[in-house]
Structure 1
């Protein structure tokens, strides 16, 4: 029996996953968490074999930070990222925090079942638009972090932007005004001499901003 913890800030998604997975006799859902902080606590309490982890959760720890903390506290627990994000930076960061699997929310239920079984057996299971060869290279990579001219607050805002948070979400999370967030974003773009979100994402990849904890 594979013990699974479901982590997603949307109740309907958690319930849907529960119904989908409990149809398999060898899977037991031991609990649900609505944010990263609760996921860390419940992983310690419930000792699941596999954690299905969403990434962009507005309250508490995001999925990357939660995964990193879970891996630190419970090295034996396997983590499968289940997300709508199919961009390279998200896949790369999942590898960096030690996630064993990565699949998209629009995947077929059989793929999710396969992912749980594969990681439970100690294998990696990444199914995204990123090539398997690229994923293997990233898993072997130990690239250095590039020096940054940004302040810690600016780095934090870049991290949240790349994670998909809106200006309003960032303002609420950091207890600052939306106008302050906008000013920070303008300063960041000027400092880095970039003018698009794509360039900002590439900068964040090189500097491994998604690994930062604030």
Structure 2
């Protein structure tokens, strides 16, 4: 069972997300928060697997709240940013802060529930075109990929990560075991000095490793 904390300053949005998620047999809504200032106390109390995080909130935005969660938890919950605009500097900053992906508020119910399952499983929820635009619009050049000494296989894995493929999909594409792919992903993250897949993909775009 995947537990979710819903964070949004709009009570109607929270109610809508709660109704969508509560209808799923494998998802439970652990609680709600109406502002970023409430996120850390709620997460410490409820220990959710996933946080659905609004970006724009009045007292503390979702970016600051994401940073707090990453700082205070040895293994923080997966953070899924819920936003109105995909091509938004706030979204880029949230990904840089440690969010596992983002979801548009106009997403269909089945897209929302699937997004929760994806990030809960340890994968990132990436939309390649949107991440490319965000990384190139808001991120400075980054030479880490060229200096990382990736093996040919690791470079292949990073390329497929940038396409938004999950570990299982990468394994199928490369005819490898899922555990082998996980090992390659871990090596890529370590060599690039990043925390997660999302940041690895952002670095790949900013380095020019992925052709634009």
Per the TM superposition, whether the score is higher than 0.5 is: yes
8 Å CA contact 2:80, 2:102 repeated in 1: yes
CA contact (8 A) 2:55 2:91 kept: no
Distance in 1 (alpha carbons) for counterparts of 2:107 and 2:46:
27
Matches within 5 A, 1:51-200: 51-58=51-58, 60-74=59-73, 75-127=75-127, 130-131=130-131, 133=132, 143=142
Which residue of the partner structure matches residue 197 of structure 2? none
What SS does structure 1 have at the residue aligned with 2:130?
coil
What CA RMSD, in Å, does the superposition of the two structures yield over aligned residues?
A: 2.5
Partner residue, 2:2: 2
Is the alpha carbon distance of 1:45 and 1:108 closer, same or farther for their aligned partners in structure 2, counting shifts above 3 Å?
same
Alignment length (residue pairs): 141
Cα separation, 1, equivalents of 2:4 and 2:117: 11
Q: Is the 8 A contact 2:33 2:39 kept in 1?
A: yes
The 3 A distance-change label for structure 1 pair 142 and 27 is farther
Q: Deviations over 1:168-192 (max 9, x none)?
A: xxxxxxxxxxxxxxxxxxxxxxxxx
- Alpha-carbon shift at residue 88 of structure 1 (Å): 4.1
Q: What is the match of residue 160 of structure 1?
A: none
Aligned twin of 1:25: 25
Q: TM-score, normalising length from structure 1? A: 0.60
> Contact conserved, 1:50 with 1:80, CA < 8 A, in 2?
yes
Q: Distance in 1 between matches of 2:141 and 2:50?
A: 26
* Residue aligned with 2:40, SS: helix
**Is the contact made by 1:102 and 1:126 (CA closer than 8 Å) also made in structure 2?**
yes
Distance in 2 (CA, whole Å) between partners of 1:5 and 1:115 is 14
TM-score by length of 2: 0.60
Partner of 2:47: 47
Provide the rounded CA distance (Å) in 2 between the counterparts of 1:83 and 1:43. Answer: 20
1:92-116 Cα distance to aligned partner (Å, 9 max, x none): 2122100002011011111111111
Residues 55-100 of structure 1 show CA distances to partners (whole Å, capped at 9, x for unaligned) of: 1111x21110001101111233100000112224233212210000
- Distance of aligned partners of 1:128 and 1:57 in 2 relative to their CA distance in 1, 3 Å threshold: farther
Q: Does residue 11 of the first structure (1) align with residue 11 of the second (2)?
A: yes
Q: 5+ residue gaps in structure 2?
A: 144-212
Distance 1:128 1:42 in 2: 32
| Secondary structure class of the residue paired with 2:69 | helix
Deviation of the 1:136 alpha carbon:
8.2
